[in-house]
Each structure stands twice: as structure tokens, then as C-alpha cells.
Structure 1
Amino acid sequence: MEASLFVAGVDEAGRGPLAGPLAVAAVILDPSRPIAGLDDSKKLSEAKREALYPLIIERARAWCVVLIEPDEIDRLNIFQATMTGMSRAVAGLAPGAHEALVDGNRLPKDLPCPGRAIVGGDALEPAISAASILAKVSRDRLMVAMENLHPGYGFAAHKGYPTPAHLAALQMLGPCAQHRRSFAPVRLLLDQARLF
């Protein structure tokens, strides 16, 4: 592949949580400004991700982080929301990408450039690793900030994932505006509330 071709890595964070947005990032790395230590964000400590985040933003040729809010996730479903977010993130890159490498086994139909789906790509392709870090850090920071807006749920600790503490808080407080109504534990609570 010629050096002049811009290849974007694309990945998401937050498909599994019951609350908060889905974060999707696209990154075009600059081969002349390598970043040491890139890996799948799930394999890195929070401190390591936070240290890499500013380096990626500073050294990348282009980057874009897109948030898909809970109401849109509920409207589209989580798979379609992921595909939509990936297309938006790639479309948001300037300069634009000539090719997108997408983590996973499916490509969005409306990518603005040719794409390749790579299973486990976040550990194999540095640009996908960089995207996974931007998506994860962006989302985690949002969930920490959300703690103040919606106290009692423990968002800063579990980031919206269905931990026992989160499920207990949900049971006690009911869903807040950030909860995904289409996800089973939230939907069941809402259904029960309608019955009584």
C-alpha cells in the first residue's frame, strides 16, 4: 500500500452497557509519527489508555469520535447503531480515508470509502487499536461525568455495564434518561412498572 493512501482504523466502545452512549472512533495514523504501546483498549490499563489518548490526538493525521445516544440506539438496535456510528466516524475524518479497516466481521453498507472487516483487528492493526482507545476513553470520561447528573447509579465505577451494583441501583431507582430502553434488564423493569 502506498504511503500516500490514508487508511482509517475504526472501532467502538459501549455496545454492552445498559446506559450511556455508544462511542465510535475512526483514526488515520501518521506513519512518520509512530505511537508506541498501541493495543486493544480492553488489554490496556485505564492509566495506559489515558496516557495514549493525547498522543493519538496529537500525532494522528485525522481522528473523529462519534456518539450514538441511547434514544437512537433504542430506535435502531445496537447492531445498526454501531454500523451507523462507524459510517459517521469515517465520514467525519479530514482528510478523508481511502480505506477503512473495521474491527469485527461486518462492514457498514454506507461507508464513505472501501472497507475491510478484520476480526480481532483492535489487537492486529495499530489504527484500529488507536480508534478503540479513543472510543473507550471518550466514553469512560462521559460516564464519569454522568455520575454527577444521575447520582446513585454508580456510573463512574461500572460505566453503565450490567454489574450487580448497577442492576441493584436500577431496581431501586428505576431507569434514568441515559438508560437504553430496548435492553432487556431496563425493558423488564419498565414492563413491570406498567403492570403495577
Structure 2
Amino acid sequence: MAIFTMMNSLAALLLFLISSSSLIAASDSPFILAHKKATLNRLKSGAEKLSVSIDIYNQGSATAYDVSLNDDGWSSDIFSIISGNTSTSWERLDAGALLSHSFELESNVKTVFYSSPAVITFRVPTKAALQEAYSTPLLPLEILSDKPRESTLDLAKRALAKYGSLISVISIVVLFVYLVATPSKSGAAKGSKKKR
């Protein structure tokens, strides 16, 4: 019964996604999606470098004009800009196209930082007002945190969780090939009896 209701909910979700994507495709306007990601790298000087990149996709069926990106949620008390800018602009973003922007920050402050989403504004020729979109938020950044060393057992558990299903599928295929390729002992015994 639980599997049946789960299948129904998955089917309803799939139907919703298909209908919403067809509505988006039917409307003649841009549909902006932005993904923000960051990586922390500890420097030998006792500071931490933060590399931020933002990918902006136009999933709509029309071009977005006067696209601007503003990611000013980085506190100057915690971060200093090493390279790039936290804001930029482009003339246009065609339908189905991708724009990327990246910059680097550095911090000497030990803290947990909560970043706000980046704001993307763009113009649509059929509308007078500027349109806004927001990027995905980042998980809390633990800057200069004391990360405990992972034991071999923790690493093995994480590898098993990540690659366990792949290992089991390969094991089943290898076992199947082995069983098909090797002759059975009962068949070999029958064959030896017939020769006598």
C-alpha cells in the first residue's frame, strides 16, 4: 500500500513538473535560474580564500536584456576582495544560454558566515518594470574552523555510502557472467557418465 501511494505521489510530481515546464515554455519570456557555489581553501598564511562562482541560466523562450548581477552580501568586516567584483552586468542573455561570473575573497576572521542569495535583475521588452531573480543560497560557511581529522573508518563509511550501489551492481554483473561462463558440475557429471 505504501509503495502504491509513493508511486502515485511520484506520478503527480512528474505530471506537475511537465505541466509547469510546458507553461514556462508556452510563455514568451525569459526564465532566469541562478546557481551560486563557493569553495574554501585554507592558505598557509593562516587566512582562508573563498572562491565564489555564479552561473546564470535563461531557461525561458525569450532573451533577457540589461542583465545585472549583484552579490553584495559579503561583509567587509569579514572578507576582503582579492580578485573580481561582486557585481557585474551583461547586455543580454539569450534563451537557453548561460552566463558565469566568479570572484575571490579572503578572510582572517574565524566565524560561521551565512551568505545571502545574489540578486539578478533583467529587462523584458514586453514589461516596463525590471524583473528580479535570486540565486540559490549557500550553506553556512565555517571560516577558519578547526576541522577534526577523519578516521579511516569514517572515510570508508563515506566511500561505501557514495559508491556502494555501484559496487553492488558490478558485483552482481560479475557473478552473473561467472555463473554463465563456468559449466555446472551436474552437467559435467552427466556428460562423463554418457561417455562410459
Identify the TM-score tier after normalising by the shorter chain. under 0.3
Q: Which has the higher strand share?
A: 2
Q: Which has the higher helix share?
A: 1
- Structure with larger Rg: 2
Q: TM-score, normalised by structure 2?
A: 0.27
Q: TM-score, normalised by structure 1?
A: 0.27
